[in-house]
Structure 1
């Protein structure tokens, strides 16, 4: 694929291995400005490894990553942090810090060494906490929050950071259904470019503009949800039987799974092959 400097993110022929085990193999894709790309695939497909390459936590063996036309290897850590925010799958420990202080950490890349927070900064933090539904827990210790609340606090921190690209690794992993939908809809409304690994295929279908499907470190399919989420592709990659219909609200693919794997007959009558 050819690189498009007008894109938010260009990845070309990205490969990474550990101890001669290939984790990512020649992965290529592009993310347009303002687009939300859903990264899907089975456990162990390489989704987190791919995201870690994008925010420079790991260095790929080969390939090229450009953010807004600039190769990420040439960006300082501070400059990268002004462009890219990351919410990881596991919530880190922040002892003796309040929820408000966690969200305020998003201001750091934009501050000088001894620069203090302005009233506008504090207002921005308050608005971010309100967006994720944590304004009433601003002064509560971060470690006392539930798993889902911690994840929302970290998303508030990312909002405060004002990135051009937001990278989310299973952002809804610990959230109740309501907040799964609410957080991803909120992310969409930020008006920035987003790449998010999402475990729930129906949720990915509903909220993402396009999808990238990984399996065993390779790109199996990419495109619009109805191009990627087909019965044949889902059956091959996830080894499940399903039926695809249109969601009654948004019209994107709605996946209905069949059951009976313990009995060896998951197809369900007329859907048997």
Structure 2
């Protein structure tokens, strides 16, 4: 990845932050994005090679501005070789209690923001003859669990859209990877939206005991390097994907009775 241009959203914390440090150590030129500009500069200051890290703040919910943000990103180093869509937000609320505006917010950030940004960088990648896009989905992108209805929907939507897009751009030398983490020790549950849109502000036990972001980032980088189309990262929770595929009824009954926090 030396001198390759990597654009990472959600770069101010969690998996995105860990990816910044890993790619910076590998010699990549980085564009790091999130809403919190101060946190982005904190991440930049923690990088070994700060001169190759450029801060570009953005809000994925503001989809109408993302085309301009992509144009600004392309001007920084002249191109985008790899876009990693790591920005997103989760949920901790029952579907019947969640305001439709909260569900729309989750879809706008997790799905439409990712789609808009990816479509904006694709013409440049196609023009130069190659490129990669990686989307950080979730194992909940493969099955739904209680209190995650809108979050699961947004991640399922990523798989449908980017599986289709992958087939459409395959002849243009564009590779697309869908990354599905399970329990990773980040602040995602703290920032999760409740039924009224307020922060959950509670660290889930499974998150607290999950894989470190650095270990997750290392596996993500390997998956992208090897052009994996879909990969699952985590502990025993990722076995749920196969459980659902081969024993759907048993899995459904298990989900109803269990307390799963993904």
Which structure's relative contact order is higher, taking Cα pairs within 8 Å and 6+ residues apart? 1
The structure with the largest alpha-carbon Rg is: 1
Bigger proportion of residues as helix: 2
**Does TM, scored on the shorter chain, surpass 0.5?**
no
Report TM bin, short chain.
Answer: 0.3 to 0.5
TM-score (normalizing by structure 1)? 0.35
TM-score (normalizing by structure 2)? 0.37
